[in-house]
């Protein structure tokens, strides 16, 4: 009898916890939609803000956020995957690689504003990039690199040893095996890591506030500054323009949601291609 | 030209501190099927893997002695590993097709050797799949994922993949252990056909299988637990299974242990 009670209690608790987390998500989304949607016009996406009250749209911010995210992706993708390949396939286990892993794990826990401060001191001032998309992207890359590196490394390690044996056993070289057998097999997990990293970069505020700046102009070159959607939201909310802030939140939410859908779609596609 | 495809002389293999094989000498006649049998953990796989140096892929191993392949020492410093593994193909315990299409799996060895011509690859893929008795089943779906095939078909695909690079020797490490009896039967039939053109070394835990398909059989075991294994007896399968010369062989093949 007590075992049935325990079982029932455990189930009820599991359901309650799961339900609560869904409820929190729904409340947040609901709040943003209810407050953000009424004043939302399509022109909001394609016009620039104007005036002291920052009326108008968020076109320059969308450009700044996308530019910054794309540049971060271009930096962190090759560096993260390259380092992961080295660590997982070639480096073996020695003091250097243990140090690299330890450093990555430590960096992953550093608050983003600390990265922002470092980016300000190093990229903006020392390397004289000024407040710019490039400085922001480099800072964001440093911030998401540890996660990208470790998740990719795990993904590569999770590729069955039998693939490597099979390939090397047919006379392929180590490098051919890594490039054309191991990496494609680790691709779904690495693509997911990359998209989640990019999502984090897109949603980041503190690290870009100090590095990409707040200029509400449309950045077209990496050395121009720009104001991201998140920084714009921060400025709107702290100066008391709550309704426009919710509209920005709505845009952010839509973009992050599409990142996640894209990740899911990619995963499904890879799975179809490889597993039948 | 030697009458042996590969010859092992006093080969010993150690993993770390663990001496696993000692003093193995074995000559594999050309175009024959040689079975390696023995109790679990006696080093059959280590022995077969020492012939194309696949032991060192998984762990640090120290191999001493000489493996003579076509007049050259497999462990010599001038041995080209890629050439070695192309000429001595390997089929593993569990089917391990790559997560690629059927065509790309079979073409893998050729492509990694720099062969690009579409026509040439297509010919080689068809020839290898026919040789592995898989062509009729897959000819219409070469672009589909290899992992969608059944276990037995996957294993025949792995055999085709190994044949595509035209090896001289085919090493098979318990190729049927993950397969059902019908798929096993097909692989055995295939081995019978393949021995016309290839030399085959097969590890098996199934003595009926060894008796059915192998011309020669080597029986391996350790004198004591934790001691390295040695070859107890090597000879024609008929002899080993009907008139073994050593009483340990007799005890093993009649199922008294192992």
Q: What is the interface pTM, i.e. ipTM, of the complex?
A: 0.84
Grouping H, G, I as helix, E, B as strand and the rest as coil, residue B64 is strand
Q: Nearest Cβ partner of A275 from B83, B98, B145?
A: B145
Determine the residue of chain A that is closest to B165 in CA distance: A170
| Window B:28-87, CB contacts with A under 8 Å | 52, 54, 57-58, 82-86
β-strand pairing of B169-173 with B18-29? unpaired
> Which positions ≥6 away from A149 have C-beta within 8 Å?
A80, A83, A84, A87, A104
What is the model's pLDDT at position A1? 65
Architecture per CATH, domain A57-274, reads as Orthogonal Bundle (1.10)
Q: How far apart are CA A170 and CA A12, in angstroms?
A: 54
pLDDT at A31 over 60: yes
Grouping H, G, I as helix, E, B as strand and the rest as coil, residue B123 is helix
Q: What are A47-89's pLDDT values in tens digits?
A: 888 877 778 889 999 999 999 999 999 999 999 999 999 999 8
Separation in Å, CA of B60 to nearest CA in chain A: 12
Whether B162 has its CB under 8 Å from any CB of chain A: the answer is: yes
pLDDT at A271 over 80: no
**CB A168 to CB B158 under 8 A?**
no
Q: What is the mean pLDDT of chain A?
A: 90
What is the model's pLDDT at position A275? 54
β-strand pairing of B216-222 with B229-236? antiparallel
Burial class (CB in 10 A: 0-12, 13-18, 19+), A73: buried
Q: Which of B188, B217, B178 is nearest to B93 (CA)?
A: B178
**CB B161 to CB A170 under 8 A?**
yes
For residue A33, give both structure tokens. 């939609």
Most B-contacting residue of A168, A170, A179 (CB-CB within 10 A), to test interface:
A170
What is the model's pLDDT at position B214? 95
**CB A276 to CB B144 under 8 A?**
yes
**CB B97 to CB A184 under 8 A?**
no
Residue B142 has, within 13 A of its CA and on its CB side, a CA count of 16
| Window A:174-233, CB contacts with B under 8 Å | 176, 180-181, 184-185
| Window B:91-130, CB contacts with A under 8 Å | 92, 94, 96-100, 108-109, 112-113
Within 10 angstroms of residue A207's Cβ, the number of other Cβ atoms is 26
Q: How far apart are CA B156 and CA B150, in angstroms?
A: 10
Whether A270 has its CB under 8 Å from any CB of chain B: the answer is: no
Residue position matching structure tokens 């550093």: A110
What is the model's pLDDT at position A182? 92
B51: chain A residues, CB-CB within 8 Å? none
Q: What are A103-161's pLDDT values in tens digits?
A: 999 998 999 999 999 999 999 999 999 999 999 999 999 999 999 999 999 999 999 88
Given a contact cutoff of 8 angstroms between Cβ atoms, the answer to whether A150 and A101 are in contact is yes
β-strand pairing of A55-56 with B199-203? unpaired
Q: Nearest Cβ partner of A165 from B92, B97, B109?
A: B92
Burial class (CB in 10 A: 0-12, 13-18, 19+), B54: buried
Question: If residue B161 lies in a helix (H) or strand (E), which one and from where to where?
Answer: helix B151-164
Determine the residue of chain A that is closest to B158 in CA distance: A166
B99: chain A residues, CB-CB within 8 Å? 163, 184-185, 274-275
> Which positions ≥6 away from A81 have C-beta within 8 Å?
A148, A152, A183, A190
Residue position matching structure tokens 């983003």: A112
> Which positions ≥6 away from A227 have C-beta within 8 Å?
A60, A61, A64, A212, A213, A214, A215, A216, A235
Within 10 angstroms of residue A174's Cβ, the number of other Cβ atoms is 16
Tell me the average confidence (pLDDT) per consecutive run of 10 residues in chain B, 258 residues long: 86 86 92 92 89 85 91 88 91 91 94 90 94 91 92 93 93 90 89 91 92 94 86 93 91 82
**CB A168 to CB B85 under 8 A?**
yes
Q: Which of B43, B49, B2 is nearest to B201 (CA)?
A: B49
Determine the residue of chain B that is closest to A188 in CA distance: B99
β-strand pairing of B33-37 with B216-222? parallel
Question: If residue A90 lies in a helix (H) or strand (E), which one and from where to where?
Answer: none
Burial class (CB in 10 A: 0-12, 13-18, 19+), B249: buried
Q: How far apart are CA B26 and CA A167, in angstroms?
A: 27
Determine the residue of chain B that is closest to A271 in CA distance: B99
Q: How far apart are CA B75 and CA A138, in angstroms?
A: 48
Separation in Å, CA of B84 to nearest CA in chain A: 7
Separation in Å, CA of B155 to nearest CA in chain A: 12
Determine the residue of chain B that is closest to A89 in CA distance: B57
Whether A97 has its CB under 8 Å from any CB of chain B: the answer is: no
| Window A:53-72, CB contacts with B under 8 Å | none
What is the model's pLDDT at position B254? 87
A180: chain B residues, CB-CB within 8 Å? 112
Domain ranges of chain A: 57-274
Q: How far apart are CA A256 and CA B102, in angstroms?
A: 37
pLDDT at A276 over 50: no
Most B-contacting residue of A156, A162, A169 (CB-CB within 10 A), to test interface:
A169
Alpha helices in chain A (DSSP H): 2-36, 43-46, 59-85, 95-108, 112-119, 133-157, 161-169, 174-177, 183-203, 206-209, 229-238, 242-275
Q: How far apart are CA B156 and CA B129, in angstroms?
A: 8
Given a contact cutoff of 8 angstroms between Cβ atoms, the answer to whether B160 and B133 are in contact is no
Q: Which of B165, B155, B171 is nearest to B50 (CA)?
A: B171
Whether A163 has its CB under 8 Å from any CB of chain B: the answer is: yes
């Amino acid at each position: 009898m007590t075992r049935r009670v325990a079982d029932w209690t455990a189930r009820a608790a599991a359901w309650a916890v799961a339900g609560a987390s869904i409820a929190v998500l729904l409340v947040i989304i609901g709040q943003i939609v209810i407050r953000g949607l009424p004043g939302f016009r399509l022109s909001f996406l394609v016009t620039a803000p104007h005036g002291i009250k920052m009326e108008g749209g968020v076109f320059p911010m969308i450009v700044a956020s996308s530019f910054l995210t794309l540049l971060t992706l271009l930096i962190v993708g090759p560096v993260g995957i390259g380092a992961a390949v080295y660590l997982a396939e070639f480096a073996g286990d020695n003091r250097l690689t243990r140090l690299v892993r330890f450093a990555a794990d430590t960096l992953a826990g550093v608050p983003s504003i600390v990265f922002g401060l470092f980016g300000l001191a190093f990229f903006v001032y020392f390397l004289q990039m000024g407040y710019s998309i490039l400085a922001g992207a480099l800072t964001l890359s440093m911030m998401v690199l540890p996660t990208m590196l470790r998740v990719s490394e795990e993904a590569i390690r999770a590729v069955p040893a039998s693939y490597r044996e099979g390939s090397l056993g047919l006379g392929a070289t180590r490098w051919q095996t890594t490039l054309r057998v191991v990496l494609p097999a680790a691709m779904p997990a690495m693509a997911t890591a990359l998209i989640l990293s990019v999502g984090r970069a897109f949603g980041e505020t503190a690290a870009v506030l100090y590095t990409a700046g707040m200029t509400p102009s449309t950045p077209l070159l990496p050395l121009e500054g720009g104001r991201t959607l998140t920084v714009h939201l921060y400025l709107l909310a702290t100066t008391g323009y709550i309704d426009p802030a919710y509209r920005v939140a709505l845009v952010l939410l839509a973009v992050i949601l599409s990142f996640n859908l894209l990740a899911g779609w990619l995963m499904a596609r890879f799975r179809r291609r490889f597993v039948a | 030209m030697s009458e042996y495809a590969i010859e092992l002389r006093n080969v010993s293999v150690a993993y770390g501190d663990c001496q696993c094989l000692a003093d193995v000498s074995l000559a594999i006649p050309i175009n024959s099927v040689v079975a390696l049998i023995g109790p679990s953990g006696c080093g059959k796989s280590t022995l077969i893997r020492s012939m194309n140096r696949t032991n060192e892929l998984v762990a640090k191993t120290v191999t001493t002695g000489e493996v003579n392949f076509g007049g050259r020492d497999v462990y010599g410093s001038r041995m080209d590993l890629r050439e070695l593994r192309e000429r001595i193909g390997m089929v593993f315990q569990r089917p391990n097709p790559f997560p690629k299409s059927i065509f790309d799996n079979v073409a893998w060895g050729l492509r990694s050797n720099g062969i690009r011509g579409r026509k040439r690859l297509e010919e080689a893929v068809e020839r290898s799949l026919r040789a592995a008795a898989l062509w009729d089943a897959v000819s219409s779906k070469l672009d589909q994922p290899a992992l969608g095939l059944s276990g037995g078909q996957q294993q025949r695909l792995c055999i085709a993949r190994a044949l595509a690079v035209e090896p001289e020797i085919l090493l098979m490490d318990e190729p049927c252990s993950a397969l059902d009896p019908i798929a096993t039967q097909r692989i055995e039939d295939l081995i019978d056909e393949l021995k016309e053109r290839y030399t085959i070394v097969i590890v098996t835990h199934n003595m009926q299988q060894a008796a059915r398909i192998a011309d020669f059989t080597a029986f391996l075991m350790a004198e004591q637990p934790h001691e390295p294994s040695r070859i107890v007896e090597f000879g024609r399968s008929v002899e080993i299974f009907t008139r073994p010369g050593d009483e340990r062989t007799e005890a093993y093949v009649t199922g008294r242990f192992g």
